[in-house]
Amino acid sequence: MKIPKILPAKKLIYLDNAATTPIDPSVLKTMQPFWSKSFGNPSSLYKLGVEANNALTTARKKIASTLSARPEEIIFTAGATESINLAIQGVVKATTIKNPHVIISAIEHEAVIEAAKATEAKLTILPVNSIGLIDIDKLKKAITKDTVLVSIMYANNEIGTIEPIHEISKLLRKINLERTAKKLTKIYFHTDASQAAGFLDLNVHKLGVDLLSLNGSKIYGPKQTGILYKSSDIKLKPIIYGGGQENNLRSGTENVAGFVGLAHALEAAQKNKESETKKQTTLRNFFVTQILKNIPAAKLNGPSIVGEESKYRMPNNVSVTFPTLEGEVLVIYLDSYNIAASTGSACTTSSDEPSHVLKAIGVTNKLSRNTVRFSLGKHTTKEELSYTIKVLVNLVKSLPSK
Ligand SMILES: *Cc1c(COP(=O)(O)O)cnc(C)c1O
C-alpha cells in the first residue's frame, strides 16, 4: 500500500468537538478552589459548607439567567444522559395517565431512545426527512389522548440538523390549550440541547420548552456535569434516591467544582454564540466546498450548506460519506496524521451497528459505514482544515477501494 508523503501535523488537529471539547482555561480556574481549599459539602452548616453552598447558588443563578429561567427550575446532574433520563423517566413515573404515550424522533441520541424505551410507555418514533427534519403534521397525527411527553432534540450530534423547536412548541401549546379545556393532562415538551448550547438561543420561554437538557462537556466545560431545566409547574419523580439534594430530584453530594465550571462555560458559550456561529460557518463552508470539489464522489449528509436548507444545519458539523472508503479505516489513517475525527457519534463507535441516524435519513448500511463526522470548534483554523483536505484527498487516492 502506497502511503502518501505528507508529514503528520505537528499539533493535534481536533475535529471531534461534537464528541467533547477541551476545558477552557478560564473555566478550569473557576473550578480549582472547590477541589482544594473550598472543598466543603454544601449541606454542612459551618462556614466551609456555606461557602460551597454559596458557590452552588451562584452557579445556579448564573445558569438560570442564561436560560431566562428561575434558579429553582435548574436541576444539576452528572451530564446530559442523566438529565435526559430524569426528564423522560421522571415525567412518565409522575404521570397519572394509565397507559402513557411518549413521542421521540428517529434521530435522537441513544440517551433519549433508551430512556424512552426503559419507561415501558407506548412509544412513537417519528420519522425524519432526507436531511433529518421531523414533520410537524406527522407529530400532530401521532399525538393521542394518552400522550404525556414529546422529546425532540434541538440539534443532532451526527448530521447537524437543527429541529424546528419553535414550531413544535407552538403546536403543543395550541393542543395543550384544547386539552386543558377538556380537562386532559398537558403534554410536556423536552429537548436535548447538548449540541446546541454553543451556537443557538437557549431562552426557554422563546423556545417554548418545558424541559431542556444540556451538558458541560460539549461547551468547553467539565465532563459529567449537566443540567435539566424543568419548568416549575411540571411534576417529576426522581430516578436517583438518597439524601434529597436538588429539591429531592437528584440525591447525592453536589459536584460543586463541576457545576461552578459548567455555569461559567455555559455563560461564555451563550455570550459567544453569534461570533462562533459566524466564524465556524465560514470555516465549515470552506471545508465542505473543498471536500466536495476535490473528492467528487464524497457526499455531505444532513442539510445543505447553501440555500434555504442551510438554516437547519449546525455551524460546526461536517458529516461526509466517502463511497469507496470505510469510515473507521479513514479515522485511523487520519489519526496517523494527527487529525482527530470520528465515525458517526462517539457514543456508538463501540458497537458494530450502523448509525440509526444515517439510517433514518435513508443512507444504506454500507454507505453508513463509509461515513466520517468532522466537528469544528472554537479553536479550529483554516490552516488546519486546508491540511486536512490535503490529507483526505491523498488518502482517498491511495487507499484501496472498499
Ligand atoms: C453528548 C450528547 C449527549 C450525552 O451527553 P453526556 O453528557 O455525555 O451524558 C446527549 N445528547 C446529545 C445530542 C449529545 O451530543
Cα–ligand 1 centroid distance for 180 (angstroms):
33
C-alpha cell at 153: 432534540
151 lines ligand 1 (CB under 6 A): no
| 3-state DSSP assignment of residue 180 | helix
| 3-state DSSP assignment of residue 83 | helix
Mean pLDDT, residues 164-173 taken together:
98
0.85 exceeded by the pTM?
A: yes
Q: What amino acid is encoded at 91 in this protein?
A: V
End-to-end Cα, the chain, rounded Å: 14
261 lines ligand 1 (CB under 6 A): no
Taking CA atoms, 345 is separated from 34, 111, 161, 355, in Å, by: 32, 12, 14, 8
Q: Ligand 1 test: best mutation among 213, 215, 355, most atoms within 8 Å of CB?
A: 215
Distance between CA atoms of 245 and 237, rounded to whole angstroms?
Answer: 13
Distance between CA atoms of 22 and 40, rounded to whole angstroms?
Answer: 27
Q: What are phi and psi of 381, to 5 degrees?
A: -120, 165
Which atom of ligand 1 lies nearest, measured to the CA of 153? 13
| DSSP H or E run through 71 | none
| 3-state DSSP assignment of residue 263 | helix
**Owner of C-alpha cell 445543505:** 304
Mean pLDDT, residues 325-352 taken together:
84
Nearest to 388 by CA among 14, 3, 103, 2: 14
Cα–ligand 1 centroid distance for 107 (angstroms):
13
State what percent of residues in the chain have pLDDT above 90.
95
Residue 346 has pLDDT above 80, yes or no: no
C-alpha cell at 179: 386539552
Closest protein CA for atom 3 of ligand 1: 80
Distance between CA atoms of 41 and 58, rounded to whole angstroms?
Answer: 15
- Which distant-in-sequence residues (6+ apart) come within 8 Å of 247 by Cβ? 72, 75
Q: How high is the mean pLDDT of the chain?
A: 96
User: Are 350 and 251 in contact, with CB atoms under 8 Å apart?
Assistant: no
User: For the residues of 279-344, what is the DSSP string, one character each?
Assistant: HHHHHHHHHHHHHHHH-TT-EEESS-SSSGGGGGB-TTEEEEE-TTS-HHHHHHHHHHTTEE-BSS
**Owner of C-alpha cell 458541560:** 216
Q: Ligand 1 test: best mutation among 218, 348, 356, most atoms within 8 Å of CB?
A: 218
Mean pLDDT, residues 378-398 taken together:
97
| DSSP H or E run through 53 | helix 47-67
| DSSP H or E run through 141 | helix 136-142
User: Are 112 and 151 in contact, with CB atoms under 8 Å apart?
Assistant: yes
Distance between CA atoms of 316 and 313, rounded to whole angstroms?
Answer: 9
Cα–ligand 1 centroid distance for 81 (angstroms):
6
Distance between CA atoms of 182 and 145, rounded to whole angstroms?
Answer: 11
Per-residue pLDDT of 20-35, as tens digits, reads: 999 999 999 999 999 9
The length of the chain is 402
Residues with active-site annotation: 347
Cα–ligand 1 centroid distance for 90 (angstroms):
18
DSSP character at residue 250: S
Taking CA atoms, 101 is separated from 96, 151, 368, in Å, by: 12, 11, 31
373 lines ligand 1 (CB under 6 A): no
Closest protein CA for atom 12 of ligand 1: 194
pLDDT band at residue 166 under the 50/70/90 scheme: very high
pLDDT band at residue 353 under the 50/70/90 scheme: confident
Which atom of ligand 1 lies nearest, measured to the CA of 82? 9
User: Are 254 and 290 in contact, with CB atoms under 8 Å apart?
Assistant: no
Residue 85 has pLDDT above 70, yes or no: yes
Distance between CA atoms of 240 and 223, rounded to whole angstroms?
Answer: 19
**Owner of C-alpha cell 478552589:** 33
Which atom of ligand 1 lies nearest, measured to the CA of 224? 7
Which atom of ligand 1 lies nearest, measured to the CA of 218? 1
Q: Which residue has the higher pLDDT, 354 or 161?
A: 161
pLDDT band at residue 1 under the 50/70/90 scheme: low
pLDDT of residue 377: 98
Cα–ligand 1 centroid distance for 215 (angstroms):
7
Distance between CA atoms of 360 and 336, rounded to whole angstroms?
Answer: 32
Distance between CA atoms of 344 and 319, rounded to whole angstroms?
Answer: 8
Residue 352 has pLDDT above 80, yes or no: no
Nearest to 102 by CA among 165, 229, 189: 189
C-alpha cell at 348: 456508538
Q: What are phi and psi of 105, to 5 degrees?
A: -100, 165
Which atom of ligand 1 lies nearest, measured to the CA of 347? 1
Mean pLDDT, residues 51-57 taken together:
98
Closest protein CA for atom 5 of ligand 1: 80
pLDDT band at residue 3 under the 50/70/90 scheme: low
The Cβ of residue 189 has, within 10 Å, a number of other Cβ atoms equal to 24
